[in-house]
Amino acid sequence: MSLSTGAVQRLANASSQALHSPRMSESERLRASVADAGVPGCLRADALKHDPPAIGRIGVQGILVAPFMVHAALTGKCKT
């Protein structure tokens, strides 16, 4: 099933979303990459962004995250 460009544009207009996202400037890309590369604090919500809590492909939540928090703190994945 292939859609012509006009059909795709009509679908994008109907969903009220832009077909092409605007490009980020160099400074915006640098700012985003620096913010993403920083080491988060261990008590913040994104503390495990560099070491996500999962056993295999199964994500872990709640109290089961505690060992992952300790591991992240000991390995330097988050700031203590």
Q: Which two tokens stand for residue 72?
A: 């992240």
pLDDT > 70 in the chain, percent = 82
Phi, psi of 55 (to 5 degrees): -115, 105
Q: Which domain holds residue 66?
A: 5-75
Residue 25 lies in a domain: yes
In sign, the C-alpha dihedral spanning 33, 34, 40, 45 is: negative
DSSP 4-57: -HHHHHHHHHHTT--SSPPPPPHHHHHHHHHHHHSPPBTTSTTTTSSS--EETT
Our count of domains for the chain comes to 1
66 band by pLDDT with thresholds 50, 70 and 90: very high
6-47: pLDDT as tens digits? 777 777 676 666 656 678 888 988 988 888 788 888 888 888
Residue 80 lies in a domain: no
80 by DSSP, 3-state: which? coil
40-64: pLDDT as tens digits? 888 888 888 888 899 889 999 999 9
